[in-house]
Structure 1
Amino acid sequence: MRIILSGGGTGGHIFPALAIADEVKKRFTSAEILFVGAEGKMEMQRVPQAGYPIVGLPIRGLQRKLSLSTLAFPFRVAYSLWKAYKILKEFRPDMVIGTGGYASAPTLKAAQWLGIPYFIQEQNSYAGITNKWVARGAQGLFVAYAHMERYFPHTPLYLTGNPIRKDLVELTDKAPQAFASLGLDPQVFTLLVIGGSLGARKINELVKTHLPLFQEKKVQVLWQCGAYYYPEYRSYESDTVRVVPFVEDMKAAYSVADVIISRAGASSVSELAVVGKPVIFVPSPNVAEDHQTKNAQAIADLKAALLLKETAIAMDFAPMFASLLEDASLRQTLSQNFKQLARPRATEEIVDLMIKS
């Protein structure tokens, strides 16, 4: 079996692709897997770290303001399509899977031209331009939300949920080795802050502003600020505050957490449901159709998480966090309700359907 996976730009596209690759390898140890990513994006480091080969395309996003990059965009697209076509011709995959991101579009379009079976994994409740462009002709489209036929009326849809990292399904709460590996005290209430794989300034500023509150309440913080922001925030490291650009061992991070602050991207939501810890979602308002807020609101309505809008951080965060800190029954209720929304077998279901198609 020979498979090409393409997706990247953010962890929300990379980690589902890696989860699918791991499940394929688990079932078919001799399978040959190749990733196709975008040059200069985080997948070019993360995928080799996970043990898989990757090749890059020169594709970039379209900038809204006029610049040399904007003028070069059509040429980058054309060259990326040609390069993706060449990669598929040489590798001869049995199937191609796209999980979103810049590189996914030319790779799936090349598969379409060559008549190679291809699948799409759409994480969000709002379909992106890339996936809508290549959906017609796909063997199947794996979604995490109902009613996606409004975006994909001509493609077979399968409601599977989003793939998650396999190790999170067997998470051990408060594992001593997790505290040791992260340099944290197992006797202290722990706040985990994850602003997405690239970091988020609003969340970073939230943490910075409330460091005196955390100190007063005797809370230790594991703060993933993002590689771009790390030089700015690394100076806030202390005995009770761990500042890291990226958390390499998310299983350990989730294990130690009592409360989590997170963006509300689709992949993050799927992972956090399986983890089942109390979460304060701070959705990014700068995404298509404000879908992160819709994700978070749907969960908050089920009393499975708390929703904090960026515009309300200054007024609402301190009392919201205090209520979680002081009310163990509230934390337990949120955890139990969130766990009920989890789809821990999403990856297995996706690979099952790929094999059967």
Structure 2
Amino acid sequence: MTGLLKIIRWLLSVQLFTGGLSPAMAQGQPALVRVADATDGSPVAFANVCFEGFGKTFMQYVVTNDKGEASCNIPGRAIVAISYVGYETLYDSVAPGETCLLKLNRSYTQMEEVVVTAQFTPQRADKSIYRVKVINSKQIEMKAVTNLSDLLRSEVSIRTSQDGVLGSSISLQGLSGENVKFLIDGIPVIGRMNGNIDLGQLNLNNADHVEIIEGPMSVVYGSNALAGVINIITRENQHDRLMARANVYAESVGVFNTDGAFSLKTGRHLLTFNGGRNFFGGYADPDTSRGKLWKPKRQVFADGSWLYTKDKLRIKIGGQFLMQTHQF
């Protein structure tokens, strides 16, 4: 009887010993995941991390700390799913005791149209107190235009005219000359001749969109904005660290245009350079012996800018160059 009791006690002790080890064995070893931004390498804090075993044997949710780190004890290799607002969801795998660095790519969403003309801060177009018409970059590209005159030629309530010497001009709601205000990023364009600005000299190779406000704007922009305001908003590289592009456009009537752009974003600084050449061989009616109404023209242009941003502070310094030659 004594021997039987010893055997029972031994079996109970073995059972208690194995039962005490099984939770520890189930917990496994800790796996550490570091989550960072794929663009600048900065840690992504408070991202949601899900550790899930293959075959859904276990599942654990963790949130990254201010260093972008998340740790979890896993008994075996697990699937890791990381999600955060503004980033694409990332799936990967991690083994017990492993430390891995995972980088999230930013996701970009098409937002509502935003306007800046005559606003204290950028606002949605439908929230503006003015009736602002926006011609976006996609429309500019589809029209294959290189200057403001060609872009506005088909717009309602805008009439374009061509002068053999002074170039292109427009009338807005029946008013022209000094009654129309032209801006580039909110800065007035100067260089009027006979009250008009040659719109063929306002290149759109670096334009993000064009904002048009019809009606009196003299309270905001002065007496030469009686007919309205046209504001060219230039393109800024908001996402890519390095960006370069080049375009070539040709027509059988003697048009050959080339342009290119380069931008570099480092931290809070953004450097942008653009340049190109436009050539037009001129045009005249086939049944006339007069000189060409649109004279042969060649343009060489370039511009550069430096932008510094910090919180609500924006400092931008830039310059433009244009050399235009005509053949009379």
Q: Do the two structures share a fold, i.e. TM-score over 0.5?
A: no
Compare the two structures and name the one with the higher helix fraction.
Answer: 1
Compare the two structures and name the one with the higher strand fraction.
Answer: 2
What is the TM-score normalised by the length of structure 2?
Answer: 0.26
Higher relative contact order (CA 8 A, sep 6+): 1
What is the TM-score normalised by the length of structure 1?
Answer: 0.25
